Amino acid sequence: MVKFASCQYAIELFDGWDAYVTHLERLTGEAVDAGAQLLLLPEYAAMALTGLLPEEERGDLHKSIAAIHPLIPRWLELCGTIARRHGVWFCPGSAPVLDPDGRYRNRAWLFGPDGLAGHQDKIIMTRFEREQWFIAAGTEGLRSFDTPLGKIGILICYDNEFPMLARKLAEDGVDLILAPSCTDTEAGYHRVRIGAQARALENQLAVLVSPTAGFAPWSPAVDENFGRAALYVPADYGMPPSGVFAESEATATETSQWLIGEIDLQQVAALRREGQVALYRDWPEQFTL
**Cα torsion at 84, 90, 92, 97 (round to 10°)?**
80
| Largest CA-CA distance found in the chain, in angstroms, rounded | 60
pLDDT at 216: 86
- The phi and psi torsions of 46 (rounded to 5 degrees) equal -70, -10
Closest CA to 3 of 28, 30, 39, 27: 39
**Residues in contact with 83: Cβ distance below 8 Å, sequence separation at least 6, in sequence order:** 89, 90, 111, 112, 113, 115
pLDDT at 280: 97
Residue 289: band (very low, low, confident or very high) from pLDDT cuts 50, 70, 90: confident
Give the distance, in angstroms, between the CA of residue 177 and the centroid of all CA atoms in the same chain: 9
pLDDT at 115: 95
Distance CA 222, CA 229 (A): 17
Q: Compare 76 and 252 and report the one with higher pLDDT.
A: 76
Distance CA 256, CA 144 (A): 28
Whole-model pTM? 0.96
pLDDT at 15: 87
Closest CA to 216 of 7, 5, 21, 14: 14
User: Quick one: which H or E segment has residue 98?
Assistant: strand 94-98
**Cα torsion at 154, 189, 210, 60 (round to 10°)?**
90
pLDDT at 221: 87
pLDDT at 36: 98
CB atoms within 10 A of CB 7: 29
pLDDT per residue as tens digits for the range 21-33:
999 999 999 999 9
Mean pLDDT throughout 90-117? 97
How long is the chain?
Answer: 289
Mean pLDDT throughout 180-204? 97
Q: Which structural domains are found in the chain, ordered by start?
A: 2-287 (3.60.110.10)
pLDDT at 192: 98
Residue 234 has pLDDT above 90, yes or no: yes
User: Quick one: which H or E segment has residue 208?
Assistant: strand 206-211
pLDDT at 92: 98
pLDDT per residue as tens digits for the range 32-54:
999 999 999 999 999 999 999 99
